[in-house]
Amino acid sequence: MSRTFESLGFHNYRLWFLSALVANVGTWMQRVAQDWLVLTHLSEDSGIAVGIVTGLQFAPVLFATPLGGLLADRMNRRHLLMATQSALGVLAAALGILVLTDTAELWHVYVFALLLGTVSALDNPARMTFVGELVPRQSMANAVGLNGASFNAARLIGPGVAGLMIAAVGPGWVFIINAATFAATILGLAFMRKMELIPMSGASKKKGQLREAVRYVGERPDIKLIMVVMSVMSALGLNFQLTSAVMAREAFDRGAGEYGLLGSILAIGSLSGALLAARRSRPRLRLVIGSVFFFGACMGISALMPSYWLYAVSGIPVGFFATTAMNSANATVQLSTSPQVRGRVMSLYMMVFMGSTPIGSPLVGWIAETFGARSSVGVGAIASMSVALWSLWYARRHWDVHLKYQRHPRPHLLVESGPEYPHRPIDPTDQPDADGGGATTGDATAGDDAGAGGDEARDGKGADEAVDPKDNTDGDDGSGTQQEPDSR
């Protein structure tokens, strides 16, 4: 099997990937239908109303995600996911019934957005860390990349289908279909082979576990930098639902079908970025920062496009760099975190990453109404490039990171860093077996972040040469359980 799809060789992950793909298509359909319902049926083309709905849907991340991370570290993740996916399906069906019976009002959508956001906040940490139970450690970066590919393949399909269905039968049936798609995830979880699930170190029930995760992150300047960069990008740049709606409606005077098509074209780039991420065994911090900068640059170009089709096509590189940044940040944080606190650390990351949206979305909506649709895209471009440049300044000042161009043996940029560059602390319970040929303390493992370069970063030699993307680390998931792909 191609290295890009190697995780699909594992039965349980294959079930998870396919069922999640179906559910993600339904979720993207509902997102488009929800925004279009608010923009055209329940308000008078109000970008602020759409921004409030988006903000309410992400607001629970600020208070419920840490609880979700705690539950993910304590509970059976498979059972927890079955419960949250069932709840999401019920809420989607209830909103669909309100719309179909013509009783839905704007405040109803606000309430359901808040409820959906709360359940999603509890679901996210378990869903993100569950991959560690489906594939061995050396395949985790690939599995995280394929998860992103599933999400973005759904983004490619869902908005276009939603736009056609809204035009044909209205948004109510889109909500009902989304409710039905959650059955795929529940069935996929139910039919997994329990004996092939890989045990992961969890947390026993005791006081102060959230504070423990906060202290852990406080001692990791690399994770803190990722959180800052991604929160700014998320708050002001990742508002595609809102910006695509106002650009389609106001800048180009287009309807629901063309609005949905914008999301599908954007997903072409997103899917490409996710598949490329699946080939990387070592996600790196420099890739996160570089992707955020180029995401902002492409958004700036997109904001200036004079026609609908040029704007749509310009979304392809925007989607590519957005997904590259998100997948690289996700994998870098997850793979460099000790399994005992992984769920809680990921919940803190998601709280910062997604929790910035309730702050940014209403602001971007206000900018769209006050200064025009193009300004709502431009503010995300400026913010993303600015925070990327700031992070480079921070790295140069505090870690003595700098770039050096080398022509031999092939042209490439060499990232050099001083002795203060943060290196992932080695957790002896999270290491490959001695006979697995895996990375030892002196190697840059799959969990090492972007510029560490193994012992070189600790010794102060600072050489972090271009890494062959075919390189990989071997070993197990840290639990001592080895797993081989299916022969199919």
Q: What is the pLDDT of residue 403?
A: 60
User: Residue type for 272, please?
Assistant: S
Average pLDDT over residues 457-478: 37
pLDDT level of residue 400 (50, 70, 90 thresholds):
low
DSSP letters, 253-302, are: ---HHHHHHHHHHHHHHHHHHHHHHHT-SS--HHHHHHHHHHHHHHHHHH
How much of the chain, in percent, has pLDDT values that exceed 90? 27
Q: What is the pLDDT of residue 401?
A: 63
Q: What is the pLDDT of residue 82?
A: 94
The yes-or-no verdict on residue 259 having pLDDT over 70 is yes
Give the residue from 286, 273, 288 showing the smallest Cα distance to 230.
Answer: 288
> Higher confidence at residue 382 or residue 403?
382
For 211-252, the three-class secondary structure string (H helix, E strand, C coil) is HHHHHHHHCCHHHHHHHHHHHHHHHHCCCHHHHHHHHHHHHC
Give the residue from 332, 300, 119 showing the smallest Cα distance to 229.
Answer: 332
Average pLDDT over residues 479-488: 41
Angle at alpha carbon of residue 101, lines to 84 and 57, rounded to 5°: 35
Whole-structure pTM value: 0.66
The yes-or-no verdict on residue 419 having pLDDT over 70 is no
> Higher confidence at residue 426 or residue 422?
422
Give the residue from 130, 30, 114 showing the smallest Cα distance to 64.
Answer: 114
**Pick from 36-45, 368-377, 380-389: least confident:** 36-45
**Pick from 94-108, 111-125, 264-278, 361-375: least confident:** 264-278
Average pLDDT over residues 403-413: 64
Average pLDDT over residues 148-168: 80
The yes-or-no verdict on residue 196 having pLDDT over 80 is yes
The yes-or-no verdict on residue 469 having pLDDT over 60 is no
* Inter-residue contact 421 to 457 (CB < 8 Å): yes
Handedness of CA 415, 419, 422, 427 (dihedral sign): positive
Average pLDDT over residues 156-185: 87
In sequence order, the β-bridge partners of residue 412 are 406
Ranges 328-342, 436-450, 453-467, most confident: 328-342
Q: Write down the H helix ranges in 101-170.
A: 106-129, 140-169
SS3 95: helix
Question: In this structure, what token pair is assigned to residue 243?
Answer: 């910006």
Give the residue from 330, 424, 67 showing the smallest Cα distance to 210.
Answer: 67
The yes-or-no verdict on residue 194 having pLDDT over 70 is yes
Average pLDDT over residues 288-314: 93
Question: In this structure, what token pair is assigned to residue 172?
Answer: 């109510």
Ranges 14-18, 43-47, 198-202, most confident: 14-18
- What are 212-229's pLDDT values in tens digits? 888 888 888 888 899 999
Q: What is the pLDDT of residue 457?
A: 34
The yes-or-no verdict on residue 434 having pLDDT over 70 is no
Mean predicted lDDT score pLDDT of the chain: 78
* DSSP strand pairing (402-406 vs 412-416): antiparallel
Q: Which residues contact 249 (CB under 8 A, 6 or more apart)?
A: 39, 40, 45, 259, 373
Residue 253 — φ and ψ, nearest 5°? 55, 50
Q: What is the pLDDT of residue 483?
A: 46
